[in-house]
Amino acid sequence: MSRYFGRGQSSPYGSIPGGIPAVTDEDFSYITSQDLEGPAATLEDDVLIIKNKGVTYPVHFPAYAIGDGKLRVSDVRHRVGVMMDLSAPATRRMKLLYKGQKLKEPAAPVRDYGVKNKSELMAVISDARDESSPSDEELVIVKDKKKKRNRKKTKKGDVDGASSSRDSTSNLDGTSPSSTPGSVAMKKLDELSHEFSTRLHPLCKEYIASPPSDPKRRDEDHRRISETILQNILLKLDAVDTEGVAEVRARRKELVSRAQDILKALDVAKASQG
């Protein structure tokens, strides 16, 4: 729609010397493909610091993958296995720990365990069996099959065999020496508690009371003690089968809490000298 400038009204271009300015392409700036790619290129990767046997592996993931809950435990395990050049069975046996807590659920986001960008995790690969040994899942299947076979034998009624076996292994009251639920697990917990109290706890108290002044030695001693507690106490506690016995569960929970508390105290002592 045109506008009429009558008497007393002036053109908006009247005050511009020379009238309407000439505009050329040089008066414009354009966004190039490099400009569009620039911001994305500046995003920093998420990084997890993985430690194993004194060696540190910085493992990179897409930016914000941890905070957005997209990075899962299985993703970290797979990536660490590639970084450490592990075989598939060894990668499956790998256990990841963060501040004494095991990252159990493969499909769970790592942030559910409190893991953040630049957090330090410990990777532990069991050396107890070679790669030709069956996996945990295979062992469970074998146990289930054995239980089914035993139930079938019982149903067939092998009375003589059962009675002779019972006579050879029974106590006077007719119970088996190891029939008490949770007795084996409780014995194992007592052994771990004794090891922690007599061998590891004194080392922890000494470090907490007087951390080494030399930064390198302070870090090395902290790593050595922490890894020993994780491998010799926490991982073994995690492997104890409580058999659903409340007393055994409570005992294991108490030992786990003690170990985690001492790990936190070690972290505080190390940071206090930083």
Q: pLDDT (tens digit, 9 = 90+) per residue, 77-134?
A: 999 988 888 888 888 888 898 887 889 899 999 999 999 999 989 888 876 444 444 4
Residue 165 lies in a domain: no
CATH number of domain containing 239: 1.20.58.120
Which pairs with CB-CB distance under 8 Å and at least 24 residues apart come from 137-142? none
The pLDDT, as a whole number, for residue 74 is 92
The pLDDT, as a whole number, for residue 173 is 46
The pLDDT, as a whole number, for residue 75 is 93
34 has a pLDDT exceeding 80: no
pLDDT band at residue 23 under the 50/70/90 scheme: low
pTM of the entire predicted model? 0.50
- State which residues form the domain around 57: 46-125
Residue 61 lies in a domain: yes
Q: Give me the helix-helix angle, 215-229 and 201-209, nearest 10°.
A: 150
Residue 207 lies in a domain: yes
Q: Which residue has tokens 């106590």? A: 171
Q: What is the mean pLDDT of the chain?
A: 76
Model confidence over 119-172: pLDDT tens digits?
989 888 876 444 444 444 444 444 555 555 656 555 555 545 544 444 444 454
How far apart are the C-alpha atoms of 265 and 86, rounded to whole Å?
33
Same-domain status, 197 and 263: yes
Which residue, of 92, 125, 158, is where some domain finishes?
125
Residue 185 lies in a domain: yes
Which of 219, 228, 238 is closest to 262 using CA atoms? 228
Q: Where are the beta strands (DSSP E) in the chain?
A: 46-52, 55-61, 95-98, 101-102, 120-124
Which of 252, 236, 256 is closest to 244 using CA atoms? 252
Establish how many alpha carbons lie within 13 A of residue 265's alpha carbon, considering only the half-sphere containing its beta carbon.
Answer: 17
Same-domain status, 121 and 189: no
Residue 120 lies in a domain: yes
Residue 242 lies in a domain: yes
Both tokens of 240, joined, read 């104890």
24 has a pLDDT exceeding 80: no
Between β-strands 95-98 and 46-52, what pairing exists: parallel, antiparallel or unpaired? unpaired
Task: Please count the structural domains in the chain.
Answer: 2
pLDDT band at residue 48 under the 50/70/90 scheme: very high
CB atoms within 10 A of CB 125: 16
Alpha-carbon 261 to chain mean position: 18
Distances (CA, A) of 195 to 69, 169, 203, 259: 38, 31, 12, 12
Residues 6+ apart with CB under 8 A from 122: 50, 51, 52, 96, 97, 98, 226, 227, 230
Average pLDDT over residues 219-236: 85
Same-domain status, 267 and 189: yes
21 has a pLDDT exceeding 60: yes
How far apart are the C-alpha atoms of 260 and 226, rounded to whole Å?
10
- Percent of the chain whose predicted confidence (pLDDT) is above 70: 65
- Percent of the chain whose predicted confidence (pLDDT) is above 90: 15
Rg (CA), the chain: 33
Give the torsion through C-alpha atoms of 240, 246, 252, 257, to 10 deg. 150
Both tokens of 97, joined, read 């720990």
Residue 114 lies in a domain: yes
More confident residue, 176 or 63: 63
